[in-house]
Amino acid sequence: MKRMLCAAALSAATLAAALPAMAQAPYPNRPVKLVVGYPPGGPVDITARELAKVLSQSLGAQVVVDNRPGATGIVGNEVVAKSPPDGYTLVMAASPMVVHETLYEKLPYDTLRDFTFIGTIASAPLLLVAPPGSHATNVKELIAMAKAKPGALSYASPGTGSVNHLAAESLKTMSGIDAVHVPYKGAAPAETDVMGGRVAFMFDTIPSALPKVRAGQMRALAVTSSKRTSIAPDIPTVAEQGLPGFDAITWYGIMGPANLPPDIAARLNSELDKALQSPAFRERLTALGLEPMPGTPQQFMQFYRTETVKWGKVVKSSGAKAD
């Protein structure tokens, strides 16, 4: 009887020890939600959907885009910050996040505390454009025009506090010019007024502006990255036209809630790197006006810190306030 009781106890202990391992199926074993804090059809959403297709195949589980638009991404970010750290709810992080750090007095989350940085995806410079009939054919001529008539030139942006707006503020500060900001509710109406000559210039996204430049509806003066972009190598940078150090890019990355298990974070970063090495995915990014931007979680966090400091200075000097 004693031997039978001991054997039964041993079997029960063995079974109990095995249960957690049996219950914990390999990640992922159900759909992964990729939250996008912007409406469907925009650049963040389109990029997220392209990435979701690739990750669905490599992870072996469906990656579903979940649009949660509001407050230029803040609503979607908050959803993920308050989600369980199990790897099944991620957010498509984008460059406005670093602007928010200074633009808003208080956010519903602390990015460095409430998120796990997984990896960067892609980046893109902006394009400095002017009306097709502008007297300025390059940055130096635009600056000369502005200095000849201080405060007479106006520039468009898709909204106060956008990277587009702050890139123009950086141009003003670095060149010593004065120009009037005209914020619009989105890029489309701003572009319309640039093409019609009602404003003197604008910093626009490459996917939206480049076709109009090629069609003669806008004039491209410069790209905003520190180096020329492979997407439009014929267009010089702002930096090489007399403003060394000028650098303004938009970017995308993936984050999860804080305390994401290290093995899950590592798996996601690995799959992200594989996606960025895929010729088909890289070709799709190029078609969207983006350049692949692989990186480790540590590199992503350091990049985020650097961008936050850089744009924080511009927000403060410009006096920009959240709408």
Please, which residues have CB within 8 angstroms of residue 189's CB and are 6 or more apart in sequence? none
Q: 3-class SS at 159?
A: coil
* Alpha carbon distance, N-terminus to C-terminus of the chain: 78
Amino acid at position 116, single letter: T
pLDDT of residue 18: 46
Contact call for residues 191 and 204 (beta carbons, < 8 A): yes
pLDDT of residue 4: 52
pLDDT of residue 159: 87
Residue 67 has phi, psi (to 5 degrees) of -80, 125
CATH 3.40.190.10 spans which residues of the chain? 125-241
Each residue's pLDDT expressed in tens, for the chain with a length of 323 residues: 455 544 444 454 444 444 444 456 789 999 999 999 998 988 899 999 999 999 999 999 999 999 999 988 999 999 999 999 999 999 999 999 999 999 999 999 999 999 999 999 999 999 999 999 999 999 999 999 999 999 999 999 998 888 999 999 999 999 999 999 999 988 889 999 999 999 999 999 998 899 999 999 999 999 999 999 988 999 999 999 999 999 999 999 999 999 999 999 999 999 999 999 999 999 999 988 899 999 999 999 999 999 999 999 999 988 888 86
Indicate the pTM of the whole model. Answer: 0.86
pLDDT of residue 17: 47
Residue 35 has phi, psi (to 5 degrees) of -80, 135
Rounded-to-integer distance, Cα 81 and Cα 28, Å: 20
**What is the number of other CB atoms lying within 10 angstroms of the CB of residue 269?**
20
196, two tokens: 């019609």
pLDDT of residue 42: 84
Q: Which CATH class is domain 125-241?
A: alpha beta
Please, which residues have CB within 8 angstroms of residue 300's CB and are 6 or more apart in sequence? 117, 118, 119, 120, 253
288, two tokens: 């969207």
116, two tokens: 């796990």
Rounded-to-integer distance, Cα 136 and Cα 236, Å: 14
Q: Which CATH class is domain 32-124+250-318?
A: alpha beta
Tokens 């798996």, residue located? 267
